[in-house]
Amino acid sequence: MSDDGRFRRGSAMSDDGIASPSVLDVSLGTPPCPADFDDDGLVGAADLSPLLAGWDSVDPSLDLNGDGVIGAPDLSLLLSTWGACP
């Protein structure tokens, strides 16, 4: 976890050296919204752009399904959460 109590998206290790999932982005008591790449509380066009720009890359910060490659499954997950984060 980082100093503010949040896991950082895209980080394989937390600040205290404990492995954490690369798509987890939560504060205590706050539901995760991993497709909200710009952290504005919405999944929308601003989040779609980086995902498409990273297509076929291995950027863990964009890998929503954790398979190691940015592709159609990640796009599907992003689209399924379109709108306001829970």
Question: Is 15 among the domain residues?
Answer: no
- Residues 56-73 as b/e (b if ≥16 CB within 10 A, e otherwise) read eeeebbbbbbeeebbbee
- Look over the chain and give the mean of its residue pLDDT values, rounded to a whole number: 77
Question: Is 52 among the domain residues?
Answer: yes
Question: Is 31 among the domain residues?
Answer: no
Spatial separation of the C-alpha atoms in residues 5 and 71, rounded to whole Å? 30
Question: Is 64 among the domain residues?
Answer: yes
Spatial separation of the C-alpha atoms in residues 33 and 45, rounded to whole Å? 15
Question: Is 51 among the domain residues?
Answer: yes
The fraction of the chain above a pLDDT of 70, given in percent, is 64
Per the structure, the count of domains in the chain is 1
The lowest-confidence range among 18-22, 42-46, 54-58, 75-79 is 18-22
Question: Is 54 among the domain residues?
Answer: yes
Neighbours of 1 (CB within 10 A): 16
Task: Give the CATH number, domain containing residue 75.
Answer: 1.10.1330
Q: What is the pTM of this model?
A: 0.63
For residue 85 the two structure tokens come to 């984060």
Backbone angles phi, psi at 42, to 5 degrees: -135, 145
Read off the pLDDT of residues 6-22 as tens digits, 9 standing for 90 and up.
Answer: 444 544 444 555 544 44
Residue 23 pLDDT: 45
Tell me which residue range forms the domain holding 46. Answer: 42-84
